[in-house]
A and B are shown apart, each in its own frame.
Chain A
Amino acid sequence: MWFHSPSERPEGNVAAVELRNVSKAFGAVSVIKGVDLSIERGEFVVFVGASGSGKSTLLRMIAGLEPVSGGDILIDGRDVTFDEPAERGIAMVFQSYALYPHMNVYDNIAFNLRLARLPRAEVAARVKEAARILRLEQLLDRAPAQLSGGQRQRVAIGRAIVRNPKVFLFDEPLSNLDAALRVQMRLEIERLHRELGTTMIYVTHDQVEAMTLADRIVALEGGHIQQVGKPLELYARPSNLFVAGFIGSPKMNLIPVKVTSTGVGSATLELLARGTPKLDVAVTGLAAGDGATIGIRPESLFIGATAAARETAALPARIESVERLGNITYAYLDAGTPEVITVQAVGDVALEAGTDVAVSFRASDLHVFDPRGTRVVARTGN
């Protein structure tokens, strides 16, 4: 077996990839602003962010395709900041597949092995093994133009795995595929990570991919890391408004509030909604008169005064529209807030557009963000 298992790699507690104060500027425009990150060996790390957040640039810097303006990049403990891409022990899968159009599948996969002057038999063995893992055996003679999108992406992954890299880099590999294929390829990449156990860094703007694939998510915005953590950590305790709004689908309801008074470890908030309901929360770090924001996930909202929601004040609202997906139902409510409130309910709930209802939630499901957008309270009880 020519794949190293991670344990065969040089010993010691060195991170697979380490970024130290890495920055990047295109002329006067600063794209990456001092990023520090340490990625463990065998970890699956996903960079998420909207377009322009710098996630792809950061990946290309790790790959060596984009020169670094400042800071150091270490792979397996070795400083590779100024190394050529091929010298870094990485392999990369591109959004556009980037197959060599003039070579068939076999030659595409074998190209990097031939450049590395591996013996012919070794090349054949590795290509065969990669083709087996990716179920490409039947396609080795085809030209890229004769392949479907999913097959092309598998060839691109095959080209990466024969290198037996220390780190796999994926740059939005699934965004050109249709929805069904995307799910299938996502599972395939997940299986690949399980089988190879190699460190993987994966860039996507799709938070479903991020949530399902990642051991750890790195949320990026404006060239800064916003939060690093396990997917459910980011979901349950987003550290700022950006992460709160980005992670989760449908997105978290964010409602502006005014801090009317503060006590020791608590504050009274006035919601900028119809009837300006008041709310007492256990929170520190807010000052009276501040304009803050609260966030509630759609699934934490209840329509009607159910028993579970008794502990909070109800928010009067009118149902604007109802979307029934079968297993779940989304209701969009007008509660006088700047943005429509989304509520997730069970599939067969009796809801009618145009009716007036009361929306309630548990105080413990509330996320509170200070005027600068930073989270100021953990969920009550945490």
Chain B
Amino acid sequence: MKTQMTTRRAPLRLSLGRFITFATLGFAVCFYGIPLLWLFIAGTRSEASLLTDPPFALGTWEAFSRTWANLTSYNNFQIVTWATNSLIYAVGGVLLSLIACIPAGYALAASEFPGRKLILVLTLIAMITPSTAVVLPIFLEMNLLGLNNTYAGLILASGFFPFGVYLAYVYFSTSLPKGVMDSARVDGANRFTLFTRIALPLAKPIIALVAFFSFLAIWSNYFLAFVLLSDDQLYNLPVGLTALVSGSGALSNLPSNDVPIKKPEVVLAAILVVLPVLVIFLVAQRFVRSGMLSGAEKG
């Protein structure tokens, strides 16, 4: 009986609905996945190979290490400075947005106060406003504060993350077990300890999620950094690489110059920007999906 149970399977039915589902998914995987695959393979190839070999031909270790050396050592290892800058902006901005978003979302979800609804609506409006629309006001504001062309200026500007507030609000208002909060109040937790000792430890998934989205936004932020920063020692990776690519003429088919930044170097630079996002995503999604709340209530 038991063996029968395990070997029996629902017969595979190929209905039209199923076919459409799989066809759509297949198309999406190809459409979005192939460029990414190409990017990672292309990073190993020489310029000549990029121009003549088939699209998915693998390159050589020599070609890759030469490209790597060209890119990293260019202009006195300037790209390392930019990567470091990107990291500083990202870490600072993520920390700042977490410090602001998580308590804000909690306060909006867990308490009643005058103006709460208004703040929620304003948060939503700020969330759907395109960030490029506020770049100029931010620039003027930073100018006034004398924070243009500083680390602090860009970090302060990127800590503004209404989407994170909204995410935290939704999480706290739906996932925080009411009984646990009541119980902590009976146990003597005041509003502050309630947040720090109960809500915050249970909020790991949302902290990871907000951190991830905020990192993504800051890491790939080109326009704000481009406007706020004019000193090339303060550039982040997107701004720096754009300057590098346009300065070297690597992507325009100009007669060759002696700048060692060619197409392979540009490809590798693109990988450098994409890779941290992938790694962070893999780390963050584990937290997001973990069942932190199991066992709290009857579960």
Name which of A88-96, A237-245, A334-342 contacts chain B: A88-96
A98 contacts B296, C-beta separation under 8 Å: yes
Task: Indicate which residue in A64, A144, A147, A159 contacts B187 across the interface (CB closer than 8 Å).
Answer: A159
Per-residue CB contact flags for chain A residues 286-308 toward chain B (1 = under 8 Å, else 0) read: 00000000000000000000000
In chain B, positions 51-82 with a C-beta closer than 8 Å to chain A are none
Q: Are B295 and A98 in contact (CB under 8 A)?
A: no
Evaluate contact between A176 and B295: CB separation under 8 angstroms.
no
CB distance from B100 to the nearest CB of A (A): 23
Q: Is the CB of A84 within 8 A of B298?
A: no
A99-131 vs B: 1/0 string, CB under 8 Å?
111100000000110011000000000000000
Task: Tell whether A196 is near chain B: CB-to-CB under 8 Å.
Answer: no
Which of B187, B202, B292, B295 has the largest count of A CB atoms less than 10 A from its CB? B187
Q: Is the CB of B298 within 8 A of A96?
A: yes
Give how many B residues have a beta carbon under 8 Å from the other chain's beta carbons.
Answer: 25
Report the nearest A residue to B193, measured CB to CB: A115
Q: Pick from A94, A147, A156: contact of B295, CB below 8 A.
A: A147
B296 touches A90 (CB 8 A): no
Point out the residues of chain A lying under 8 angstroms from B197, CB to CB. 111
| A86 with B186: CB separation less than 8 A | yes
Selecting from B176-184, B249-257, B272-280, the interface stretch reads: B176-184
CA distance A91 to B188 in the complex (A): 10
> Nearest chain B CB to A233's CB is how many angstroms away?
32
Report chain A residues within 8 Å CB of B193: 115
Question: Is A70 interfacial (CB 8 A cutoff)?
Answer: no
B283 close to chain A: CB less than 8 A: no
**Complex: chain A residue closest to B299, CB-CB:** A145
B189 at the interface (CB under 8 A from A): yes
**In whole angstroms, what is the CA distance A326 to B237 when docked?**
81
Which among A60, A65, A96 is the interface contact of B297 at CB below 8 angstroms? Answer: A96
Residues of A within 8 A of B185 (CB): 64-65, 84-86
- Contact in complex: A102, B298 (CB < 8 Å): no
Find the A residue at minimum CB distance from B189.
Answer: A115
Q: How many Å lie between the Cα of A101 and that of B294 in the bound state?
A: 7
CB pair B292–A98 under 8 Å, yes or no, is no
A65 touches B186 (CB 8 A): yes
Q: Which residues of B contact A95 (CB under 8 A)?
A: 179
- Interface pair B297/A98, CB less than 8 Å apart: yes
Interface size class of A (residues with CB under 8 A): 20 to 34
* Interface assignment of B201: CB less than 8 Å from any CB of chain A: yes
- List B contacts of A197 (CB < 8 A): none
Pair B179/A102 contact, Cβ less than 8 Å: no
Give the chain A neighbours of B296 by CB distance below 8 A. 96, 98-101, 144
Q: Which residues of B contact A98 (CB under 8 A)?
A: 177, 179-180, 182-183, 296-297
Give which listed residue, A92, A101, A146, contacts B292 with CB less than 8 A.
Answer: A101
Interface residues of B in 282-299 (CB under 8 A from A): 292-299
The answer to whether B189 touches A145 (Cβ under 8 A) is: no
B170 within 8 A of partner (CB) = no
Task: Check if A90 sits within 8 Å of B186, measured CB to CB.
Answer: yes
**Chain B residues whose CB sits within 8 angstroms of the CB of A246 once the complex forms:** none
Docked complex: A143-164 residues within 8 A CB-CB of B: 143-147, 149, 152, 156, 159, 163
Q: Contacts of B186 on A, CB cut-off 8 Å?
A: 63-65, 85-86, 90-92, 112
CA distance A191 to B235 in the complex (A): 71
Do residues B292 and A102 form an inter-chain contact, with CB atoms below 8 A? yes
Q: Does A44 contact B (CB under 8 A)?
A: no
Contact of A149 among B189, B292, B298 (CB under 8 A): B298
Tell me if B167 counts as interface (CB < 8 A to partner A).
Answer: no
Contacts of B88 in A (CB 8 A): none
Q: In the complex the two chains form, is B188's CB within 8 Å of A112's CB? A: yes
Indicate whether A369 reaches chain B with its CB closer than 8 angstroms: no
Docked Cα-Cα span, A284 to B188, in Å, equals 54
How far, in whole Å, are A90 and B186 apart by their CA atoms in the complex?
8
Contact with B along A57-96 (1 / 0, CB 8 A): 0001001110000000000000000001110001110111
The proximity string for A residues 5-44 relative to B, scoring 1 for CB distances below 8 Å and 0 otherwise, is 0000000000000000000000000000000000000000
Ranked 3 nearest A-B pairs via Cβ? A145-B295, A98-B179, A86-B188
Offer 15 A-B interface pairs, CB within 8 angstroms, sorted by A. Answer: A64-B185, A84-B185, A86-B186, A94-B182, A96-B179, A96-B297, A97-B297, A99-B296, A101-B177, A112-B188, A115-B187, A143-B295, A146-B295, A152-B295, A163-B187
* A interface residues (Cβ-Cβ under 8 A, vs B): 60, 63-65, 84-86, 90-92, 94-102, 111-112, 115-116, 143-147, 149, 152, 156, 159, 163, 176
